[in-house]
Amino acid sequence: MKSRLLTVCVLIAITAAASSRLVAHHSFAAMYDANKPIRLVGKLTKIEWTNPHSFFYIDVTDAKGRVNSWTIEGAGPGALSRRGFNRGDIDLGDTLIVQGYLAKSGARIVDGRLVTLPDGRIINGGTAGDGGPGSTAAPPAGPRSK
Amino acid sequence: MLARTAPGLAIVVVVFVFSVGGAPPAQVPPAPAPATQTPSELTINDLRGRPYSGPRVETPRGLDGKPDLTGYWRPLREAGKPGGNLGKDETNFALPFSDLGRRALLYSQNHTVDPEAVCILGGIPRHNGSGLPFEILHTPKRLATIYFYNTHRWVTIDENRQPPTSPEPHYFGTAVARWEDEALVIETVGLRDSSRDKIWLDENGNPTSDETRVTERWTRPDFHHLTLQMTVTDLKYYTRPFTFTRTWVHGDPGQGLTEYACNENNIDAAHIGPGAGAIGPDGNRGYGYQDLELPKDPPGPEKYGL
């Protein structure tokens, strides 16, 4: 399972560097706040493979021990599949690290620009053409920096 | 010909109807392979047009001898010009607003959520300024423009027909078309108004009014190119007519529009704020052109009280 996952992640990283997901259905700035970058660490509780975006739900434990559910917006299932990231390649309960931007509405929704998978590989989740930070040239995927 | 591009039965039916309507076999290169990419699989490189450098192929023609505009068309982006901004050729990429137009702009930016983001029809002229590819199905009497988010408009081609004098307002208005030599000229009136309806002039959230008249001049100088010269006349919100030009390149063999499930799980719809967001000095919306990047160590949710 782990070697398979590693292979998948490498494929994702290579593909993401060359062709970030696309077809922005809304502009980044209409939904997310570029002045509110955020980093989350949480356990995967649910995945929705739907259009126009997939959504990943993670439980994040705050400093006071409270657990809150966060929604992470990601690429559509076709794009993820093309990158080799298919249903079953990650399991509920896996820990994800997400770096992105908070929704302007104040809801616990994040545009996942960089998502770190359990093996340490990072997916570039930036949407080319959505006007979000760095969307003109998607930054390459790479190893997690600690 | 187009059945190759879409597996959906609806498209097959449309193609059948067009065939009955008498569309002639297009003068096209060899039949392509079936399309395999769904919208969410496509990348920016699949959607934008690339300059065509192959041998010239003659313009295909319909039974009436006029250019057949049928095809899957990808837009050519102009260097140094913003995408999705109908003011791309204006000074500082800014449209010539009237006082009323400035108020309508404020309304659009502060009250109206991007209609396309919540699966409302984008309308005309917005779609002509979109960076997404589109498809045309064309017979001598009817023309359909079909858009990426699975919306479309119909245009009647009849030189004896005039635009209605008091049309019901629509997102795509009411359009009639005529030929002027090799150019198909489409006149559209009866559009909705940004001051009360969910319609934008373009991707940047500029306003359009119920007095807008859109005149499109479409030409297909050869098989691989489609050109548009579009004049928007809206003296309610703008001080003068303005013009938008663009060239599209025919898609690669096998490419075409496919299913786009706009409303399948549009969780975003409840969280998108009004307006297009910040418009940069380059005329583009958003932050993507200002060299902003994620900080190396973004703060956790506690910074935002979450």
Here the CATH number for the domain that contains residue A100 is 2.40.50.140
In the structure, how many helices (H) and strands (E) does chain A have?
A: 3, 6
* Choice among A121-135, B164-178, B208-222 with the minimum mean pLDDT: A121-135
- B43 with A99: Cβ contact below 8 A: no
Q: For residue A78, give its domain range.
A: 2-124
| Residue A141 domain flag | no
CA distance B102 to chain A (A): 20
Q: Which of residues 2-61 of A touch B (CB under 8 A)?
A: 19-23, 25-31, 34, 36-40, 48, 50-53, 55, 60
Q: What is the mean pLDDT of residues B1-10?
A: 34
Pairing mode of beta strands A122-124, A109-116 = antiparallel
| Residue A86 domain flag | yes
Q: What does the mean pLDDT of chain B come to?
A: 85
A-chain residue closest to B274, CA distance: A30
Highest mean pLDDT among A49-53, B47-51, B160-164, B265-269: B160-164
**B150's torsion region: left (phi>0), alpha (psi -120 to 50) or beta?**
left
Helix H or strand E encompassing B46:
helix B44-47
- A76 with B271: Cβ contact below 8 A: no
List the one residue out of A8, A18, A9, A16 whose CA is nearest residue A116: A9
Helix H or strand E encompassing B91:
none
Helix H or strand E encompassing B5:
none
A-chain residue closest to B122, CA distance: A25
List the one residue out of B230, B254, B228 whose CA is nearest residue B72: B254
B42 or B174: which leads in pLDDT:
B174
Residues paired with A130 in a beta bridge: none
In the structure, how many helices (H) and strands (E) does chain B have?
A: 3, 9
Q: Omega before A52 cis (within 30°)?
A: yes
Please provide the size of chain B in residues. 306
CB atoms within 10 A of CB B254: 15
Residue type, A74: G
Given a cut of 80, whether residue B119 has pLDDT beyond it is yes
pLDDT value of residue A68: 97
Using an 8 Å Cβ cutoff, are B224 and B54 in contact? Answer: yes
Using an 8 Å Cβ cutoff, are B182 and B106 in contact? Answer: no
Q: Of B116, B287, B298, which has the smallest distance from its Cβ to A29's Cβ?
A: B287
Summarize pLDDT for A65-77 with one digit per residue, the tens: 999 999 998 776 6
B-chain residue closest to A66, CA distance: B306
Angle CA B230–B233–B237, to nearest 5: 130
> Is the ipTM beyond the 0.90 threshold?
no
| Residue A51 domain flag | yes
Interface test with A, best of B150, B260, B306 (most A CBs within 10 A): B306
DSSP string computed for B184-250: EEEEEE-B--TTTSS--SSTT-----TT-EEEEEEEEEETTEEEEEEEEE-TTTBSS-EEEEEEEEE
Q: Is B55 exposed, middle or buried (0-12, 13-18, 19+ CB in 10 A)?
A: exposed
A-chain residue closest to B304, CA distance: A36
Highest mean pLDDT among A106-115, A136-145, B164-173: B164-173
CA distance B169 to chain A (A): 25
Contacts of A77 in chain B (CB under 8 A): 40
B-chain residue closest to A61, CA distance: B301
- B47 with A62: Cβ contact below 8 A: no
Q: Give the sign of the dihedral formed by CA B139, CA B143, CA B148, CA B149.
A: negative
pLDDT value of residue B26: 43
pLDDT value of residue A50: 75
Residues paired with B145 in a beta bridge: B136, B153
CA distance A101 to chain B (A): 8
User: How far apart are the C-alpha atoms of B244 and B234, rounded to whole Å?
Assistant: 14
Contacts of A75 in chain B (CB under 8 A): 40
A-chain residue closest to B110, CA distance: A30
Q: What does the mean pLDDT of chain A come to?
A: 71
Q: Give the sign of the dihedral formed by CA B202, CA B140, CA B72, CA B13.
A: positive
- B262 with A51: Cβ contact below 8 A: yes
Summarize pLDDT for B135-145 with one digit per residue, the tens: 999 999 999 99
Q: Omega before B125 cis (within 30°)?
A: yes
Residue type, A72: I
* Choice among A132-136, B174-178, B223-227 with the minimum mean pLDDT: A132-136
User: How far apart are the C-alpha atoms of A96 and B78, rounded to whole Å?
Assistant: 40
Domain count for chain A: 1
Q: Of A52, A99, A134, which has the smallest distance from its Cβ to B298's Cβ?
A: A99
pLDDT value of residue B197: 95
- pLDDT tier at B18, thresholds 50, 70, 90: very low
List the one residue out of B133, B172, B138 whose CA is nearest residue B153: B172
- A133 with B293: Cβ contact below 8 A: yes
CA distance A25 to chain B (A): 5
B-chain residue closest to A16, CA distance: B43
User: How far apart are the C-alpha atoms of B20 and B10, rounded to whole Å?
Assistant: 15
Domain spanning B2-23+58-260: CATH 2.40.128.20? yes
CB atoms within 10 A of CB B84: 22
Helix H or strand E encompassing B2:
none
Interface test with B, best of A41, A51, A64, A108 (most B CBs within 10 A): A51
A–B: how many Cβ contacts below 8 A? 182
| Residue A40 domain flag | yes
Using an 8 Å Cβ cutoff, are A39 and B298 in contact? Answer: yes
List all residues 6 or more positions away from B149 whose beta carbon is below 8 Å from its beta carbon: A25, B116, B119, B122, B260, B262
Using an 8 Å Cβ cutoff, are B118 and B126 in contact? Answer: no
Question: What does the DSSP 8-state code read for residue A92?
Answer: T
Given a cut of 70, whether residue B111 has pLDDT beyond it is yes
Question: What does the DSSP 8-state code read for residue A15?
Answer: H
| Residue A145 domain flag | no
Contacts of A128 in chain B (CB under 8 A): 43-44
- pLDDT tier at B265, thresholds 50, 70, 90: confident
Domain ranges of chain B: 2-23+58-260
Contacts of A114 in chain B (CB under 8 A): 294
- pLDDT tier at B60, thresholds 50, 70, 90: very high
